[in-house]
Amino acid sequence: MSSVTVTLPDGSTLDVEAGATVEDVAHEIGPGLGRDTVAGKLDGDLVAKEQPIEDDVAIEIVTDGSSEYRSVLRHTAAHVFAQALQRLFPEAKLAIGPYTDDGFYYDVTGVDLDQDDLEAIETEMEAIIEADYPVERVEESRETATEKYADNPYKLEILDEEAAGEDPVTFYRQDGWEDLCKGPHVESTGEIGAVSLLNVSAAYWRGDEENETLTRIYGTAFESEDELESFLEQREEAKKRDHRKIGREMELFSIPDVTGPGLPLYHPNGKTVLRELEAYVDELNRDAGYDFVETPHIFRTELWKQSGHYDNYVDDMFLLDVNDEEYGLKPMNCPGHATIFGQTTWSYRDLPVRYAENGKVYRKEQRGELSGLSRVWAFTIDDGHLFVRPDQIEDEIRQIMGMIFEVIENFDLDVEVALATRPEKSMGSDDIWEQAESQLRSVLETGGYDYDVEPGDGAFYGPKIDIGFEDALGRTWDGPTVQLDFNMPEQFDLTYVGTDNEEHRPVMIHRALYGSFERFFMVLIEHFDGKFPLWLAPEQVRILPVSDDNLGYAHRVKNELDGYRVEVEDRDWTVGKKIQQAHEDRVPYMIVVGDDEEAAGTVSIRDRMEREEKDVSIGEFRTHLDSERDEKRTAPDFLAE
């Protein structure tokens, strides 16, 4: 009988018979592990423990307490929800109900649900959990499954697509109720320690706005009530920090209906923050030897066909017909940079060539996926593209990683690092991909970075290092990236002359230090709760005259702070109300000036942590502002103890 090789998380390998299940492999590793197996991960995909292994794969055994167990638990919670729903609303039709990073959701139709219905459904879910029904994996013929779902077009579509060619197909059953599903699931409903249904929304089937609108119910599940309570508290805090809410309060940005979805307008306060972010990244690029370039927003689609984006990205592009010729808004900046490089003759001595552009790009995301600044149609990438010799690859990537982590440390952000490998839809030979992945792995390992591997998540032209920022809810958002590309130089026939006077192909490195300005801005708004560091704050200092008699002195103090973003509060309010408003506006520093301060030529300083100090000279305060701004400190510290 033929065998396959499985690679364990520690890098060791094991040969097993082809067709052996995940559970069989767990028993082979150790009987105790086999008994505790809940599910498995094959090349990064979560599968049922009954899943047979037919090819060489990387395997990870999922047990109670492992990092993936909660995902399996939440998948079962989605089924518990669906069973509870159909107990209360038998007419409800089920579409799809996956687990998510935060919990689970289920898309349904045939029933009109709103927020008021969730409590009753949740009570029914708790009864199912209390009953501790065994969760059984059963197989049925495709014909039987098709008959069962004759009046459910969503399940029939799943049978035709996700389960295409499978016969029999798998169901999971509890207490006589069942759902078409590949799994995995926990052993019984009683393993779910706590559940909560969070909200109801509308969602397009498959996320495609051309499809029917379904009702989506979001929920979450944990092993214990304490963990659920902690999550709900964190969620409430995240609502307070929601960048859309703070964006309105601070007049940072808006996305009105008149502009179209995913097309933000930046108000003066928001544009001030973006200008500072742009100046910072430009300074990093200059110091690292990048040359600045600029490319247009629109190109003939011939460029995207040459680069490969047309074949791989056309569904996400905005296309236009101009005088019977097809053009497209650019989804990426890299083909333009490759074109610039290709118009010059280069020697090996000239490399590396480094281009930088804060370039606006456009991607036609589904409307249902658009949300504030986290996912938009028009966004700006702090793009960099390097054209290097093969012997320069690792040194250049190490320099880029240093730049990225300088940004991360300056903003005191929590991140996750991952190596994303070759996707199913990609360009180039196996040898090129293996070489590129090996070099990225080498940089990560020699640099001591703690990273995960994300199989199949690379770009179509090359593998990448992805760095994700955590937001106020602990969710991870795409951030900086480093992508190694042996293919685009081939597509654009890019060359340099080597030491042998022959033409050679450069390697292209794509990188972004923020990822995109929009998403990075979102992360910063929530990370700082709108209380930006001094150097980023739209308004850095607000001067509060005690009375109108002190307005003249207030403006003289403002002139002494020339170069800073300073406002004088001249509304006819009490000092207490002026201080309260400055706190609500999240201004880093307040200067109170009254008769005593005016007579002494000093000021009283307050910060947004409600610390204060009187009789401060304007010169002393300005000197501190200079150092706090130039060192990009994350919080006001003039009055720090």
Residue 70 has a pLDDT of 94
- CATH architecture of the domain with range 541-630: 3-Layer(aba) Sandwich (3.40)
Q: Rounded distance, CA 543 to CA 228, Å?
A: 45
> Mean of the pLDDT values across residues 621-627?
95
Structure tokens at 604: 């009283």
Q: Rounded distance, CA 318 to CA 453, Å?
A: 32
For residue range 268-290, what is the model confidence (pLDDT) as tens digits?
A: 999 999 999 999 999 999 999 99
Using alpha carbons only, what angle is made at residue 376 by residues 372 and 378, rounded to the nearest 5 degrees? Answer: 130
Q: Rounded distance, CA 250 to CA 523, Å?
A: 15
Q: Which helix (H) or strand (E) is 239 found in, with range?
A: helix 225-241
For the CA atoms of the chain, what is the radius of gyration? 29
Residue 42 amino acid letter? L
In 471-585, the DSSP E strands lie at 476-485, 496-497, 503-504, 507-512, 541-545, 566-568
Same fold, 3-63 and 541-630: no
Task: Pinpoint the alpha helices (H) of 343-456.
Answer: 393-411, 430-446
**What CATH class does 253-527 carry?**
alpha beta
Structure tokens at 4: 């396959």
For residue range 70-114, what is the model confidence (pLDDT) as tens digits?
A: 999 999 999 999 999 999 999 999 999 999 988 999 999 999 999
Q: Which helix (H) or strand (E) is 31 found in, with range?
A: helix 31-36
Structure tokens at 282: 């430009």
Distances (CA, A) of 506 to 154, 350, 391, 430, 588: 48, 11, 10, 18, 48
Q: Rounded distance, CA 155 to CA 146, Å?
A: 9
> Mean of the pLDDT values across residues 311-334?
89
- Given pLDDT bands bounded at 50, 70 and 90, which one contains residue 227? very high
| Range 287-307 burial, b when 16+ CB lie within 10 A, else e | ebebeebebeeebebebbbbb
Distances (CA, A) of 567 to 339, 450, 556: 46, 45, 12
**Cβ pair 272, 538 in contact under 8 A:** yes
Residue given tokens 């059953």 in the structure block: 173
Least confident of 167-181, 398-412, 472-486, 519-533: 472-486
Mean of all residue pLDDT scores within the chain? 92
Annotated domain spans of the chain: 3-63, 69-237, 253-527, 541-630
- Given pLDDT bands bounded at 50, 70 and 90, which one contains residue 367? low
3-63 has which fold? Answer: Ubiquitin-like (UB roll) (3.10.20)
Does the domain at residues 69-237 carry the CATH identifier 3.30.980.10?
yes
Determine what percent of the chain is predicted with pLDDT higher than 70: 99
Residue 488's nearest CA partner among 506, 470, 504 is: 506
